[in-house]
């Protein structure tokens, strides 16, 4: 059940909002107050409507990662990757709210929380929080392990990674993430293959740098 309560409007009337919903393997049961007549089919229990979206409808929902955030204990964002088009203003708002919520949570609490239409999965590594938003019904535990695999990749690449590495090489952090995840889906789960791809990129960069150094030695900008 995700609570979405009605609130009294400015003019004192109760505005109809879904009171709660219950996502099943193959459908959603929603509870509405009696004002609402948007949902079909429905049953009436007292002053409430119960609607059931039939089997299959939840499966039409894409189960992908919506965004990933890295932020410090001080609440500074270190990396953000958005997998669905979002307005810049909205992004800032989401980040602000989420960081506040997560920083306020105690260490022993569970790593999942329902927030708006998302499920938030987060984990703290040293001074950094890694936080992903996924759809309800997606696999929370495996999302935790995506985070872990990413940390492993960073760690292997930078050699016991710390927050500073990510600050100074933020573009690398993005490139590594792109090897692991693409468009909100996992792309390559093999650590070896990911690192191989990054190494190949660095090789290309070295070649470029080598040419530049030659030019610089010749006194060219």
Q: Which of residues 54-93 bind another protein (CB under 8 A)?
A: 59-60, 62-64, 77, 79-81, 83, 85, 92
Residues 176, 198: Cα–Cα separation, whole Å = 7
Residue 140 binds another protein, judged by CB under 8 A: yes
Closest approach of another protein to the CB of residue 190, in Å: 4
Indicate the burial class of 136 (C-beta count within 10 angstroms; 0-12, 13-18, 19 or more).
middle
Closest approach of another protein to the CB of residue 205, in Å: 5
Size of the site for another protein (CB under 8 A): 94
Q: Which of residues 187-216 bind another protein (CB under 8 A)?
A: 187-193, 195, 197, 199-206, 208-209, 212
Closest approach of another protein to the CB of residue 198, in Å: 8
One DSSP character per residue, 95-164 reads: HHHHHHHHHTS-TTS-SEEEETTEEEEEEEETTEEEEEEEETTS-HHHHHHHHHHHHHHHHHHHTS--HH
Closest approach of another protein to the CB of residue 33, in Å: 6
Q: Which of residues 19-38 bind another protein (CB under 8 A)?
A: 19-20, 22, 24-26, 31, 33-35, 37
Q: Which of residues 98-127 bind another protein (CB under 8 A)?
A: 106, 108-114
- Which contiguous run of DSSP H or E holds residue 66? strand 65-72
| Contact residue for another protein among 17, 39, 144, 162 (CB under 8 A) | 144
Q: Which of 67, 3, 53 is nearest to 25 (CA)?
A: 53
121: left (phi over 0), alpha (psi -120 to 50) or beta: beta
Instruction: Output the six-digit token pair for 158.
Output: 């930078």
Binding-site string for another protein from residue 151 to residue 190, where x marks contact by CB under 8 A and - marks none: -----xxxx-----x-xxxxxx-xx--x---xx-xxxxxx
């Amino acid at each position: 059940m995700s609570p979405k309560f009605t609130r009294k409007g400015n003019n004192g009337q109760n505005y109809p909002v879904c009171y709660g919903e219950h996502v099943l393997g193959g459908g959603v049961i929603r509870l509405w107050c009696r004002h609402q007549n948007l949902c079909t089919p429905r049953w009436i229990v007292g002053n409430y409507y119960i609607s059931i979206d039939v089997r299959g409808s939840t499966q039409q929902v894409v189960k992908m990662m919506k965004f990933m955030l890295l932020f410090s204990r001080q609440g500074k964002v270190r990396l953000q990757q958005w997998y669905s088009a979002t307005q810049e203003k909205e992004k800032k708002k989401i980040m602000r709210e989420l960081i506040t919520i997560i920083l306020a949570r105690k260490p022993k609490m569970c790593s999942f929380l329902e927030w708006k239409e998302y499920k938030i999965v987060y984990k703290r590594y040293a001074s950094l929080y890694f936080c992903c938003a996924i759809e309800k019904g997606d696999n929370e535990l495996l999302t935790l392990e995506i985070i872990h695999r990413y940390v492993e990749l960073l760690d292997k690449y930078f050699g016991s990674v710390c927050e500073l590495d990510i600050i100074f090489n933020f573009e690398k952090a993005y490139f590594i993430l792109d090897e692991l995840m693409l468009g909100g889906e996992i792309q390559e789960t093999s650590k070896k293959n990911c690192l191989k791809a990054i190494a190949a990129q660095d090789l290309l960069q070295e070649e470029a740098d080598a040419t530049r150094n030659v030019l610089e030695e010749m006194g060219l900008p």
